[in-house]
Structure 1
């Protein structure tokens, strides 16, 4: 149960069940429990997964026992306690942890689903580190049963169509959410875990929106069911988070109006946005950015980066290793931070990558080369806005 919370994590029950008073300033631990091969190709190859596109394919190729060992080695080394110390040192207070439903192994349907086993022990270890270091934790269902969007390794399976949108798959997800809710509230390692996101980036198919909203409404009730059974007081209940309306798959507020302890998630990648892909445009867009449409507040910018549009990202004007470009990236980071802190805060994608000198997706690497300050609180004085 949540008890003896640290000063950073003072309860804010008037806004949400359990969100800190402070602005969230954090990083995603991408590719820890749901591998995205593009982020860590060297590691993926060393695991024996080579050109395979997803965890499911890798386990199927290697066989369960061999795959389990390969993934244990990955979990042991991809994010260490030293990483957590650095996150804290850099003025960050939050981690967002993408999870596949298979971390709750009882939700895996055999024989069609093959995923690595044993991840929960490593999640427990991570949560205990976060508690010891006063880091707030968001757990995010990143890989839903049968995939919530097609052709995305971030779901743990590279499939041609999203198979999530049917009752049996919803039931698997509810089982995951209920198991995680009970685990969080009955394990002291999770004393700083306050938010559970019920689904990351579902397919932008508006014909599925009614089904998605049905899933959202039931997911919320399933989480609260467990908390009522455990006797969790209202102010200690988890914040339940949903992708916001601007994601393009319906407005969760339609089924969450009047519900306690709700928050929203917005992903802000200008790389994919319909804007002019110039430095001036990126800065002006970020300086003028706003969020929380259609009553979707409190809202966290749960994913964003310094990645730029693919056609220009390797040109001299944008090349990250060129000294003359670094000042722009510092300003753009600061402009985004200032905009996102007008709401509940932000979580950068991601903490680490294996992209060589391209630190635009790696917070830790960007700090180490001096593009980002060691204190995230310096954004306001660095912002061009």
Structure 2
């Protein structure tokens, strides 16, 4: 059901722009009408995927799971849950997207961590694929805010199940 809702919202956003999805045409990025688009954007790194090099925690906690563990060591399990709830709710808000649009930006890139959308395979029950509402709700809001501001949203599954890259930065939360 969540996939259908996200797809519907993305299609609504595309339809409201009247220009379709962006794609490459030679060395240009163009909209659905073939109009050349220059992306002026900002990456929302550090919000849904925490990386030590971005947060300057690399000397003592580089991968996201280590950052979370360090926070938990200081404030405990319940404090960590409260911290992350506030962090995700306030990391990027409608006001931020509104401001970016006013400043002349026309796009944002959302690095996403799979564990905000689905649990790891080890946590699935009876081999059944399940979904986590939280990531979809955050993304739904961002899609809506970008559409209201006529901004492009670049979805980046930055931390895929199983990890990727040559370091541990993108593994588990």
**TM-score, scaled relative to structure 1:** 0.32
- CA separation of 1:12 and 1:96: change in aligned 2, threshold 3 A: closer
* In structure 1, C-alpha distance between the alignment counterparts of 2:122 and 2:82, rounded to whole Å: 20
**Residues 52, 64 of structure 2: 8 Å contact kept:** no
* Alignment of 1:6 onto 2:16: yes
Structure 2 unmatched runs, 5+: 1-7, 124-131
Residues 91 and 60 (structure 1), Cα distance of their counterparts in 2 relative to 1, 3 Å cut: same
Query: Which residue in 2 is equivalent to 1:296?
Result: none
Judging changes above 3 Å, is the alpha-carbon distance between structure 1 residues 13 and 98 closer, same or farther for their aligned structure 2 residues?
A: closer
1:92 to 2:105 alignment: yes
Match of 1:168 in 2: none
Which deviations, in whole Å up to 9, do the C-alpha atoms of 1:62-97 show, x marking residues without a partner?
276543322221112221222111211122111110
* Partner Cα distance (1:36, 1:94) in 2: 22
Q: 1:25 aligns with which of 37, 40, 44?
A: 40
Sort the Cα spacing of 1:105 and 1:13 in 2 relative to 1 into closer, same or farther, 3 A: closer
Equivalent position of 1:150 in the other structure: 166
Mark the structure with the bigger radius of gyration: 1
Deviates more, 1:134-143 or 1:59-68: 59-68
Q: Which runs of 5+ in 1 are unaligned?
A: 45-49, 159-385
* Residue 53 of structure 2 corresponds to residue 53 of structure 1: no
Q: Counterpart in 1 of 2:129?
A: none
**Matched positions, count:** 143
The answer for the alignment partner of 1:140 in structure 2 is 156
Q: Within 2, Cα distance between the matches of 1:70 and 1:144? A: 23
User: Of 112, 121, 124, which aligns to 1:109?
Assistant: 121
Report the equivalent of 1:368.
none
Alignment of 1:142-291 (within 5 A): 142-153=158-169, 155-157=170-172
Query: Would the alpha carbon gap of residues 56 and 92 (structure 1) be closer, same or farther in structure 2, given more than 3 Å must change?
Result: same
**Do the aligned residues in 2 keep the contact of 1:33 with 1:75 (CA within 8 Å)?**
yes
Match of 1:35 in 2: 50
- How far apart in 2 are the matches of 1:72 and 1:15? 37
Shift of 1:142: 0.7
Distance 1:14 1:83, change over 3 A: closer
RMSD across aligned C-alpha pairs, in angstroms? 3.5
